[in-house]
């Protein structure tokens, strides 16, 4: 997968443009779908956080991730229902694009597809080593983020993004702008324009 440096001003954080077309699909072992990893904090075996897009082709159980907080967003398809069993039995219904479900990675979850395959955005954060804030930006505007790393994923449309008064970076659906800050400058000033929605994630490590 190729990572393209994005245009940036001298005082900007480090920007990396991750094109959706460059993401590599990895089939699931159970044949139920494929995952395209966008970004990873740490190693695949011991990640602090992980962001990916999954194509779910059939119903079935979710893999278990102990100690991980999960956020799932429906991107495409007629939707799915997540049945959570155990001590905190509940149902998460994702019926239209940009519906969100939040649940623990250790929870027993089984997915039911409403009418065919779906595409979903997945955020996983290991609770003892990192924390994340997640927002959906549907309107253009100016916002501040304070974080070590930010990921801005274009869920639909086209959105132009400017960081710390630098040059605009154009994101089409499926593209991600990764922003890594320095210890001395954690605050990001982000300006967006265009007709589209961004999934905005701000990530911080938890110091021991």
How many Å separate Cα 26 from the centre of its chain? 17
Residue that has been written with the tokens 């440096």 in this structure: 5
User: What's residue 205's pLDDT?
Assistant: 93
Q: For each of the chain's 208 residues, which pLDDT tens digit applies?
A: 445 555 444 455 899 999 999 999 998 766 678 999 999 998 888 899 999 999 998 888 888 899 999 999 999 999 999 999 877 789 999 999 999 999 999 999 999 999 999 999 999 999 999 999 999 999 999 999 999 999 999 999 999 999 999 999 999 999 999 999 987 788 999 999 999 999 999 999 997 6
pLDDT, residue 89, reads 83
pLDDT for the residue 4: 53
As a residue count, the chain comes to 208
C-alpha count within 13 angstroms, C-beta hemisphere, residue 27: 4
CA 55 to chain centre: 14
Q: Residue 99: which of 155, 51, 60 has the closest Cα?
A: 155
| pLDDT at 70 (0 to 100) | 96
- Domains detected in the chain: 4-20+130-205 (2.60.120.10), 22-126 (2.60.120.10)
CA dist 25 and 54 (Å) reads: 9
């Amino acid at each position: 997968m190729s990572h393209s440096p994005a245009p940036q001003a001298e005082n900007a954080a480090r920007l990396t443009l991750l094109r959706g077309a460059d993401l590599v699909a990895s089939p699931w072992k159970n044949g139920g779908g494929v995952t395209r990893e966008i970004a990873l904090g740490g190693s695949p075996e011991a990640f602090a956080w992980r962001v990916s897009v999954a194509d779910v082709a059939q119903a079935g159980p979710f893999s278990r991730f102990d100690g991980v907080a999960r956020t799932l967003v429906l991107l495409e398809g007629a939707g799915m229902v997540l049945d959570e069993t155990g001590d905190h039995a509940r149902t998460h219904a994702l019926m239209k694009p940009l519906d969100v479900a939040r649940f623990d990675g250790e929870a027993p979850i089984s997915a039911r597809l409403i009418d065919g395959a779906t595409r979903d955005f997945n955020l996983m954060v290991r609770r003892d080593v990192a924390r994340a804030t997640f927002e959906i930006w549907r309107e253009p505007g100016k916002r501040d983020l304070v974080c070590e790393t930010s990921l801005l994923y274009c869920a639909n449309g086209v959105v132009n993004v400017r960081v710390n008064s630098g040059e605009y970076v154009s994101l089409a659906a499926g593209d991600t702008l990764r922003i890594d800050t320095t210890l001395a400058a954690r605050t990001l000033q982000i300006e967006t324009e265009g007709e589209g929605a961004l999934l905005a994630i701000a990530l911080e490590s938890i110091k021991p």
